Amino acid sequence: MPRYRLTIEYDGTGFYGWQFQADHTTVQGVLESAMERIHGQHILVQGAGRTDTGVHALEQVAHVDLPKSWDPFVLRNAINGNVRPHPVSVLEAQEVPEDFHARFSATKRSYLYRILNRRAAPALDRGRVWHVPVELDADAMHEAAQHLVGKHDFTTFRAADCQAQSPVKTLDRFEVARYGEEIEIRAEARSFLHHQVRSMVGSLKYVGEGKWPPLKMRKALEARNRAACGVVAPPQGLYLVSVGY
């Protein structure tokens, strides 16, 4: 059976995350329904990662094993025609070797978190940013973020129901920059713990507000205790930007 890699964009608003759920609308569920309409049988769509409820993706990656060969251009259009009206779009389809795996072959995952930092609430970006009306110090947030770069035990920034076997991860990049009224936070690692990015961003907000000095981020990390974490940032500001192989 030929294997195809799919590069997928979606607006996470209205979805209960990526992973299939029988009683809720999910990105994986919408894609698998589209594949079933095309092929007349269930086709498993395996993603590079499970984004949470409300989280968006600019370039999620998935793979599928199909009962027949397709021209990639035609396959992409067929899927897109069958996922409507859901806000999901296959940007590219390409045939790949049978040993390619969207999740296990990945070597890097990149995330972006957007904070709209102004008094007025968003109109056009509602549901796509975290609106924080209190002025944040992006430079202090960036300084604090550097304490988390490298290989660490991230228990403090791990969801209580995280199923990862180990809390130890290597954070390759964690940067904060202001662009006018928006603060962008970028994180890169081979893999992340459940809620890790949102937990780290929420703690950075405390730094930006002046509630925490930048050094407290290191102390929170070293505590290895979920109670030492700041607020967990809401999902709507988070984007899976790309998956590297």
The DSSP letter of residue 42 is -
State the pairing for strand pair 88-96/168-179: unpaired
Q: How far is the CA of 42 from the CAs of 31, 96, 222, in angstroms?
A: 11, 20, 46
- Residue 133 and residue 7: Cα distance in Å, rounded? 35
d(CA 54, CA 239): 10
- Rounded to whole angstroms, the Cα distance separating 77 from 55 reads 24
Catalytic residue among 52, 125, 137, 153: 52
Is 52 among the catalytic positions?
yes
Active-site amino acid positions: 52
